[in-house]
Amino acid sequence: MSRVELLPGTLDLLILKAVSLGAQHGYGILLRIEQISRGNLPVQQGTLYPALYRLEDRGLLATEWGTSENNRRAKFYSLTAEGRKQLRDERSSWDQIVAGMTAALRATPESL
Q: What's the CA gap between 103 and 106, in Å, rounded?
A: 5
Residues 6+ apart with CB under 8 A from 90: 12, 13, 16
pLDDT number for residue 2:
55
Q: What's the CA gap between 18 and 14, in Å, rounded?
A: 6
pLDDT number for residue 110:
86
Residue of 3, 78, 90, 92 lying closest to 43 (CA atoms): 3
Domain count, the chain: 1
In a domain, 36, yes or no: yes
pLDDT number for residue 40:
87
71 is in which domain, residue-wise?
10-106
In a domain, 112, yes or no: no
Angle at 3 between CA 12 and CA 78, to 5 degrees: 25
In a domain, 63, yes or no: yes
Q: What is the pTM of this model?
A: 0.86
In a domain, 87, yes or no: yes
CATH number assigned to the domain comprising residue 86: 1.10.10.10
pLDDT in tens, the chain (112 residues): 455 677 777 899 999 999 999 999 999 999 999 999 998 888 888 999 999 999 999 999 999 999 988 899 999 999 999 999 999 999 999 899 999 999 999 999 988 7
